Amino acid sequence: MTFPRISFKGSLIACLFTMPGLAHAQAYYYPNGSTVADFTVTDVEGTAHTLSEYTAQGKYVMLDFFTLWCEPCQETAPYWAELYQTYGCNSADLICLSLDFEANSAAEVQAYSATYCGSWAHPPVVTNAAALAAVFGVGNAPNYCLIGPDNVMINNFIWPVASMAELAAALPGGGIVDPQACGVGMAEQGAPVMATHPNPTHGILQLGRTDVVRVALHDASGRQCAAMPVLAGRLDLQGIGPGLYLLHQFNERGVSVGSSRVVVE
């Protein structure tokens, strides 16, 4: 699957999404210091996320309002994913949620993450979030914003974003929010992240190293759904249902040598 760079889809969307250089002129319904109303959204994996449940635990919540076809969204996606992984993959003091303005399918937003988030763990994605964007008064994409544990908007427009450090700079320091080990559903610790191509794939996958003889295939919930042989660095995923998978790769001695996130279309 490929994504166009920037192509405005009609005058309504062209008005809704301004270029980042003009975004400072936009009005937001939650100015810094205002209280954000509670909301619940459900990501493409079926997990519900409620603002008040996170903030009641003393967590900070950072949101990324984005679209698939927005070039600045695509360019900053790896920094967003790096932040998510660096600060604990939603298992510590920072919660990261990606909010897609449009009604794209789960496969489309997963393919977007696989294409633009790099080798980092991918934040959960909520599609069809236009209603919430309207509540926030978001007028540009991407729009990164940070909400504190008291439900108060700390920063309603984090920009520019040319590295993860610029997203992290919005977080409180002094040990309040520190980097943490990444606790994701699909266990990825202890082995390097390996490149694969093509990704997304329709079935035949070329692994990044030639000493892999077997992979364990896990679905997005962490359940192992297959163990498959690898021949000459090639893996045949034909017959596997569409979705996001983690491949744990093993050499002939049974030693794990890496892992890869793969989208099957």
Pairing of strands 125-126, 94-100: parallel
Q: Give the C-alpha separation, 104 to 7, whole Å.
A: 16
Domain co-membership, 205 together with 113: no
Instruction: Please report, for the domain that includes residue 31, its CATH number.
Output: 3.40.30.10
Residues 248, 160, single domain; the answer is no
179 falls within a domain: no
116 plus 239 within the same structural domain = no
In a domain, 183, yes or no: no
- Looking at the structure, do residues 35 and 141 belong to the same domain, yes or no? yes
| Residue 231: exposure state from Cβ atoms within 10 A (0-12, 13-18, ≥19) | exposed
- Please state the pTM of the whole predicted model: 0.65
**Residues facing residue 95 across a β-bridge:** 61
Assigned domain for 181 exists: no
49 in any annotated domain: yes
- b/e per residue 126-165 (b: at least 16 CB within 10 A): bbebbebbeebebbbbbbbbbbbbebebbbbbbbebeebe
Judge whether 186 lies within some domain. Answer: no
Cα 84 to Cα 264: distance, rounded to the nearest angstrom: 23
Place of tokens 């266990």: 187
Along the 265 residues of the chain, how does pLDDT read in single tens digits? 555 443 333 323 333 444 443 344 343 799 999 999 999 999 988 899 999 999 999 999 999 999 999 999 999 999 999 899 888 889 899 999 999 988 899 889 988 988 898 777 889 999 989 999 999 999 788 999 999 999 999 999 999 999 988 999 999 987 788 888 665 444 444 455 667 788 788 888 888 788 888 888 877 656 678 888 888 888 898 888 887 777 878 787 767 777 777 778 7
Count of structural domains within the chain: 2
The answer to whether residues 36 and 126 belong to one domain is: yes
pLDDT in tens, 99-150: 998 889 988 998 898 889 877 788 999 998 999 999 999 978 899 999 999 9
| pLDDT, position 1 | 54
35/117 same-domain check: yes
Q: What letter would DSSP give residue 240? A: P
Q: Look at residues 152, 168, 184 and tell me which one is the last residue of a structural domain.
A: 168
pLDDT at 3: 53
Specify whether 16 is located in the same domain as 124. Answer: yes
* Residue 254 and residue 161 share a domain: no
Residue 210, domain extent: 196-264
Whether 14 and 83 share a structural domain: yes
250: domain CATH number? 2.60.40.10
Helical residues (DSSP H) of the chain, grouped into ranges = 10-16, 51-55, 71-86, 106-116, 130-136, 164-168
Q: Domain for residue 73, yes or no? A: yes
| 1, part of any domain | no
Do 50 and 157 lie in a common domain? yes
Query: What is the per-residue pLDDT for 99?
Result: 96
From residue 181, alpha-carbon distances to 84, 113, 188, 259 in Å are 10, 21, 11, 17
- Is 254 domain-assigned? yes
Residue 138 and residue 59 share a domain = yes
Same domain, 239 and 117: no
**pLDDT for position 83:** 92
